[in-house]
A and B are shown apart, each in its own frame.
Chain A
Amino acid sequence: MAAHDEYHYTIDHAPAYASLILNLKPNQTVVVEASAMAAMDSCIQMDTKVRGGAMQGLKRMLGGESLFMNEFTAQGQGGQLYVSPGVPGDIQHYRLGGSQDSLMVQSSGFVAASPTVNVDSQFQGLKGFFSGESLFLLRLTGAGSVWFSSYGGIVEIPVEGSYVVDTGYIVAFEESLSYHVEMLGGLSWRGIRTGLLGGDGLVCRFQGRGRLWIQSRNLYNLVNFLRPMQTSSSS
């Protein structure tokens, strides 16, 4: 239990099947990504909201996320809440200190947060276009706790200077780091996107000082591995 945090929580079954267990205090509220609640005490009340207003909700939808988020409040007494992300992997806790603090999280990685945290969808434009990954990052600001998830295990990297990460493996990073996506020719054969046969060479170069979280697996590799067996409508 992280007793020093405003929330009493544990993360069980990490790093492959991580599940967030929150022990909400009486009348404490937590915001959870739609459909992530697995089980809860009956005293916990769920309220579905379009967090941040209609515009934010719509932006999230464009990013493939749900229009809605759920607010869970323990009514009158404490209650337990089990939260599991859709994709099995790891969960990481982060504390935002307010003022200048800002955390960027891949849009499918948001699990839960205090109601005092602002979740803002950021369209990355062409930055992520060729990677086939989500074009959206979530920008989290405010003060409070955040939990984000991954496919595979999460590894924290303290960056001091410069670091290169394959775009498919970025989970989250502190906004103190500047970043840009580039094609690292040396990672793909003759600069061609070898895709299935190799890497696609698209990397994100982070610069500055800050923490970065990567995941140890990429869901697209599983999809591409299973794909050859998929029947096509012509057969």
Chain B
Amino acid sequence: MEIELLHQPDSAIAKIHLAPGEELIAQAGAMVAMSSHINPSTSLHRGKGGSLMGAVGRMLAGQSLFLSVFRTAIPAEIFLAPKLMGDLLICDLANSNLVVQSGSYLASASTVNLDLGFQGLKSVFSGEGLFWLDLSGIGSVLLTSFGGIYTIPVNGEYIVDTGHIVAFEKSLSFTIDKAGDSWLGSFLGGEGFVCRFQGQGKVYCQTHNNYALRRQVGSKLSTR
């Protein structure tokens, strides 16, 4: 699987060359264009385990993903793009697991294991349909960002606003915390919740927070 990134950093689109027998998994709706002999199928990927009610609950809670699988019998190409303006980043998984914000996941090779329901960062307040995917295995992963994307190599401790996290290596330990010394101060100051990372590993961040844009712009849209 060869991935080419075009039109970076604002309108990034991925051109993926698929070899016969290779399978590509992507967020449903990400396909822009493709060779006509590629065979797509889409399914609802639910959070791990539990009863049917649990699965339904997760779907209602927004913790589900519609995923498309693309297969081909002969060499083919496919273009994938994210929904919002921003960049793309290719991560090649080998040893470390990657925890990815649900909105930042675009695609991955089928050799990468996608696990929904990563509970570590679960927070009532992280809201807005934000949930986290646990990626493991070997293969390429395509991440998207709202705005630019940058890497922070954590060695010790680092603080990142939760809305700006694209993905991070699972080797890092973390806690959700308040930005300042007081909870009131943190909310008044607009920072709310931050993620304190500890240890060694990479954190991939986006320069902008799409939910912040939605809060600011959406509320100014004329009433329906």
Contacts and interface: CB of A to CB of B under 8 A. Distances in A.
B224 A225 contact: no
B219 A229 contact: yes
A49 B29 CA distance: 40
Contacts of B41: 186
Interface string B189-202: 00000000000000
A233 B33 contact: no
Given A231-B223, A233-B224, A155 B7 contact: yes
B66 interface: yes
A228 B12 CA distance: 25
B223 A233 contact: yes
Interface in A214-235: 214, 216-218, 221-222, 225-233
Interface in B37-79: 37-44, 66, 68, 79
B102 to A, nearest CB: 12
Contacts of B97: none
A229 B35 CA distance: 37
Name the prevailing secondary structure of the B interface residues: mixed
Contact of A189 (B30, B35, B44, B85): B44
A166 B31 contact: yes
Contact of B214 (A90, A188, A198, A228): A228
A169 interface: yes
A77 B30 CA distance: 49
Interface in B206-224: 210, 213-215, 217-219, 221-224
Nearest to A169: B32
Contacts of A165: 32-33
Interface of B: 6-7, 10-13, 15, 27-44, 66, 68, 79, 81, 83-85, 210, 213-215, 217-219, 221-224
16 contacts: A152-B11, A152-B13, A153-B12, A157-B33, A163-B33, A165-B32, A186-B41, A194-B28, A198-B42, A216-B11, A216-B32, A217-B81, A217-B83, A228-B218, A229-B218, A230-B218
Interface of A: 15-16, 89-90, 152-153, 155, 157, 161-166, 169, 184, 186-189, 194, 197-200, 205, 212, 214, 216-218, 221-222, 225-233
